[in-house]
Amino acid sequence: MLTAPKKPFDIGPVYYAVAPGPWGWMGLAASNKGLIHIQSVVPNEKAYVNFLKRSFVGTPEKNLRRLKPATDQLRLYLKGKLRSFDVPLDFVTGTPFQKQVWRKLASIPYGETRSYAWLARSVKRPNAHRAVGNANGKNPLSILLPCHRVIQSNGDLGGYSGGLRIKRYLLELEKTGSASL
């Protein structure tokens, strides 16, 4: 679901690309500093551009060349051939707490999972399981900041903003090197 903030962020030029993924189209956006957004599922390019217009001041510019490193790395990851990303990220959205949670996600190793309780303890808010879950759900750089690796303490998957089908896919991909929908 493409939910824009109440007030658009003014960060300068925003560049975007829409690329095919195993479950449909994915949207990627970047500032001059780095990747700012990945949307696991977009209905089409027009819908993603409209989301970006509501989220950021100015008109997004399609720029496949600027986003090529990110799209190439995502493509390799989704084929089971890449375990970590090295594209620059630009955290322009989110509260300080959300950014703290998102940065902690990057420490979860490929192919492993952690619980919401672990994540809450890791950001020194041991009773904030629900707040951590909400921050996880607002992660603007899903897959690169692997919120799919966070599950419930009892082993259940919990939620995923891209849908549980995609979360299962990503976890299976990391576990076995391949996955199917």
* pLDDT-based confidence at residue 5 (cuts at 50, 70, 90): confident
Strands 61-62 and 35-42: unpaired
| Mean pLDDT rounded to a whole number for the chain | 94
Residue 149: DSSP 8-state:
G
Query: Cα torsion for 51, 57, 58, 64, to the nearest 10°?
Result: -50
Catalytic status, residue 89: no
Vertex 127: Cα angle to 3 and 130 (nearest 5): 20
For residue 170, give both structure tokens.
Answer: 């990503």
Catalytic residue among 108, 147, 151, 166: 147
Residue type, 26: M
pLDDT one-digit tens code per residue, 126-173: 999 899 999 999 999 999 999 999 999 999 999 888 889 999 999 999
pLDDT one-digit tens code per residue, 71-98: 999 999 999 999 999 999 999 999 999 9
